[in-house]
Structure 1
Amino acid sequence: MRNFSFLSFTIFLFLGCSSFKIVPDYVFDSTNKKELYVKSYDETLKLWNVPFEETDVVTNYGIAHVIISGPKTGEPLVLFHGTDASSTMWYPNVKDFSATYRVYAIDFPLEAGKSISNCIKLNNKQTAVFYDAIFKHFQMKNINLLGVSRGGWMVTYLALQPNNKIKKIILLSPAQTFGGVANLGKVLTGINLKMYPSPKSTDKFFNAFSYCPDKINSVFKNQLYLAYKYGNSKPRLLNMMPFSKKELRSIKIPVLILIGDHDIVNSEKIFVKAHKYIPNVETAVLHDAGHFLSIDQSENTNKIVVEFLNKNE
C-alpha cells in the first residue's frame, strides 16, 4: 500500500491545462483540510475486507488514484463512484467483485478523493482521455465498467467512445443517463448538504438517498460529511445531458441497469427507454433499496452484478 503524496502534484507544471495551481489542489483549499479528509478516507479503507493496493497513475489531466484488488489474471472490472463518495464507497461490494475479477476503483479527480486534476474543470472528452490513459497504463483488455449515479453516466459516455475495449457495462441508478429525476425534493438534500454541510444536513441526505441508512457505516458517513465540509467539488451536471436515441442504439455490448424501488433519482420509467433503444440490455429493480442500492442491498447487488459479468454472451 502506498501513501498519498501531495508533492506528486508538482509534476504537472508543464502538462495538461495551462490554468492550474499546485498547492494543494482544486478541491481542497488548504493542506490541513486535505489531510483531515485523507485521514477519514483511510479510515473507511479499513472496511475494505480484501487485500488491496493503492497506486497513482500519471495522465495529462492529473494524477489518478486507483485502489486495486483481486487476482492479477482476472478480467478487469473498473468501478466509478457517485459524486464525492470516492472509491471507498465500494467497501460492501469489493470482496464479491474481486473474487475472480481484477478490480480497479478510480477516484474522480475534481471531487473529494485522492486523485488530483491539473485543470479547474474537465470537459467530457478530456475526462474520457483521463480514463483511457489509466486503461492503457494497466494494459486492460475486455474491460468491464460499473458506475453508480454520476459514475453510471460516465460509464455510458465511455462506452460510446470509438475504438474502446469495453466488454460490458453496469449502471447502478445512473444519473442523467436517461433523463429526469424521480423525486426532485429529496434530491435537493444533496444540494443542501453541499451548501450547508453539518451533521444534521448529512443525516437528511443519507435518509433521502438511502432506504436503509442504518446499514451505512458511520466511518463512511463521516468521510462524506468531511468531503462537503472541507472540499469544493466541481459539479458536472451541465456536462451530463441525457443520451440520445441514436447514442443508446449504438451501444451494442451487454448492459445491465439496476435501480432501487425507493430510488429518488430513477424510476422504472427509464427501463422503457432502455429496452426500446439499447439492443442488449438487462434491467432489474432491487427491493428495499434507494439510490444507494449498492449499500442498501449489497448482497443482492453483488450477486446480480457477478452473475451478469460471468454470463457468456
Structure 2
Amino acid sequence: MSDTATRARADIGRYVNDALRDRYFAACDAVHALGAPARAEYDVETSFGTTHVYRYGPEEGTAAAGRAAGRTPVVLVHGAGGCAAMWYPNTPALAAERTVYALETPGDANRSVHRAPLHQPERAAQWLDESLAALGLDRVHLIGTSYGGWLTLNMAHRRPGRLASATLLDPGGLEKVGLRFFVWIFLSLFATAAPAALRPRLAAWLEQPVLVVPELRAMVRAGVRAHRIRRPAPKPLTDDELRTIRTPLHLVLGRRSLLLHPKRQAERVPRLVPGTRAVILERTGHGPQIDHADEVNARMIDYLDGVDDPAREGEGVPGRA
C-alpha cells in the first residue's frame, strides 16, 4: 500500500504533519529520560505495520544482568493515544533484575508505523503475537494498562501460548466505555491548559497525575496536536470469553476509576477466571501505575516472582490484598 493510500484510510492512525510529529517525539524523549535508560531500540515488522520497541534491563556485565538472562521477560503495552514513555515510573523497578520490552502500538501517537487496521480482536491478538515472535520471545509476562489492558486481556483469551501471566492495570475490555470516561478525558485535556498554580488542585479533583508532571503534561498536549487516532473503542469480553482464559491474571484497579466499576470487576473476574489476583487501590483513579508507582511496582514484581517461583509469592508486599 502506498504512503498516500495509507494516509487516506479512515481506520489508519496518522500524524497531522512532520513538524508536529517531531515536536511530539522530542516531548516523548523528555519523558523517557525520567525512567530507566533504554538498553536498545528495535523496529520489528508485522502484518499491520512496524512495531517500535524499547528494551530495558540491568547494565550488561553485572550480576543483575546475569540473573535477568534466566528470568521470564516482561512486555509492557501502553494505553490509547500514547507511547512507551508513559511507563517511566515503572521501568526502573521492573528492569532492575528482568529484561523488559515496551511495545508501541501502531495507530497510536508513537514511533510505530501503522499500515493496516488492527483494532478487531483477532487482528489485535495477531499483531501482538507477531511482535513477540519477531523479538524472539516465546514466553513473557504481559502487562497492559487501559487500552493496552484490553490488548493484554484479548491476547490471554485468543492467543495465550506465549503468556506466563497477564497483569491488567485499570484495563479496558471489561466494560463498555461509558460517557463518564470520555467526559473525564475531555476535562483532563482542558485542564492541561490551566495556570500552573491551579494544576495540583485539578489533578487531585480529576485523579489525573498528568497535570503535575511537566514533561508528561507537555507530551500529552503535543500528542493531541500532532496525531489522530482512527479506531473505535474495543468491545468488552463477555463472561463466556473470560471463562476461556487459563493464563494467570493480576487485576489492579483504581477505587475512583471512571473506565469501569472496580468493585463489580474485582468480584466478576476472579469468579470467571479462577486464581485471578484482584486488588483495588485507594486514592487513585485510572492511572495507578503513575500516581501510586511504588506500590504498584511492588505488587507487580511480587506477582511476577510468585508466578515464576510460587515459594516467593507475597515477599516484600506488606498487607497485600
**Normalised by the size of structure 2, how large is the TM-score?**
0.81
Q: 1:142: Cα distance to partner?
A: 2.2
Contact persistence 1:184–1:264 (CA under 8 A): no
Give, in angstroms, the shift of residue 269 of structure 1: 1.3
How far off is 1:217 after superposition? 2.0
Matches of residues 63-142 of structure 1 in structure 2 within 5 Å?
63-70=50-57, 71=65, 73=69, 74-119=71-116, 122-142=119-139
Unaligned runs of 5+ in 1: 1-11
Q: Name the CA distance, whole Å, in 2 between partners of 1:268 and 1:187.
A: 21
Distance 1:292 1:89, change over 3 A: same
Instruction: Give the drift of 1:199.
Output: 1.8
Structure number with the higher helix fraction is 2
State how far apart, in whole Å, the 1-side matches of 2:38 and 2:5 are.
Answer: 38
Matches within 5 A, 1:106-255: 106-119=103-116, 122-162=119-159, 164-175=161-172, 177-180=173-176, 184-185=179-180, 187-191=182-186, 199-200=193-194, 210=207, 212=209, 216-237=212-233, 240-255=234-249
Out of 15, 39, 47, the residue aligned to residue 26 of structure 2 is 39
Q: 1:8: which partner in 2?
A: none
In the alignment, which residue of structure 1 is the partner of 2:296? 301
The question of 1:261 aligning with 2:251 is answered: no
* Alpha-carbon offset, residue 164 of structure 1: 2.0
Aligned to 1:27: 14
Letter aligned with residue 114 of structure 2 = S
Deviates more, 1:291-300 or 1:227-236: 227-236
> Residues of 2 paired with 1:20 and 1:213: CA distance?
32
Distance 1:121 1:135 in 2: 15
Residues 251/89 of structure 1: CA separation in 2 closer, same or farther (3 Å cut): same
Q: Name the CA distance, whole Å, in 1 between partners of 2:176 and 2:2.
A: 40
TM-score for the superposition, normalised by structure 1: 0.83
**Who is 2:39 aligned against?**
52
CA distance in 2, matches of 1:205, 1:116: 35
Indicate conservation of the 8 Å contact 2:14/2:107, yes or no.
yes
Q: Per the alignment, do residues 75 and 201 of structure 1 end up closer, same or farther by CA in structure 2, a change over 3 Å counting? A: farther
Alpha-carbon spacing, 1:234–1:206, altered in 2? closer, same or farther (3 Å): farther
Look up the equivalent residue of 1:284 and give its one-letter code: V
Q: Aligned residue for 1:276? A: 271
**Is 1:209–1:263's contact at 8 Å kept on the other side of the alignment?**
no
Indicate how the Cα distance of structure 1 residues 170 and 144 shifts in structure 2: closer, same or farther if over 3 A, else same.
same
- How far apart are 1:51 and its partner, in Å? 4.3
How far apart are residue 41 of structure 1 and its match?
1.0
**Taking structure 1 as reference, are residues 142 and 119 closer, same or farther at Cα in structure 2, changes over 3 Å only?**
closer
RMSD: 2.9
Relative distance call for 1:201 and 1:138 in structure 2 (3 A) is farther
Query: How far is the alpha carbon of 1:206 from its aligned partner?
Result: 5.4
Hey, what's the Cα distance between the residues in 2 that align with 1:146 and 1:259? 13
Q: 1:207 to 1:190 in 2, by over 3 A?
A: farther
Q: Secondary structure at the match of 1:33?
A: helix
Contact 1:186 1:208 in 2 (8 A): no
Whole-angstrom CA distance in 2 between matches of 1:60 and 1:286: 38
Task: Note the C-alpha offset of 1:53.
Answer: 2.0
- Deviations 1:292-312, CA, capped at 9 Å, x for gaps: 110110000000000000003
Q: Aligned residues: percent identity?
A: 20
For residues 286 and 197 of structure 1, the distance between their equivalents in structure 2, rounded to whole angstroms, comes to 24
DSSP 3-state at the match of 1:262: coil
**Contact 1:78-1:104 at 8 Å conserved across structures:** yes
> 1:217 corresponds to which letter in structure 2?
V
Structure 1 residue 38 displacement after superposition:
0.8
- The whole-number CA distance in structure 2 between the counterparts of 1:116 and 1:79 is 18
Distance 1:162 1:308 in 2: 21
Q: CA distance change for structure 1 residues 171 and 208 in 2, over 3 Å: closer, same or farther?
A: farther
Q: How many residues align?
A: 291
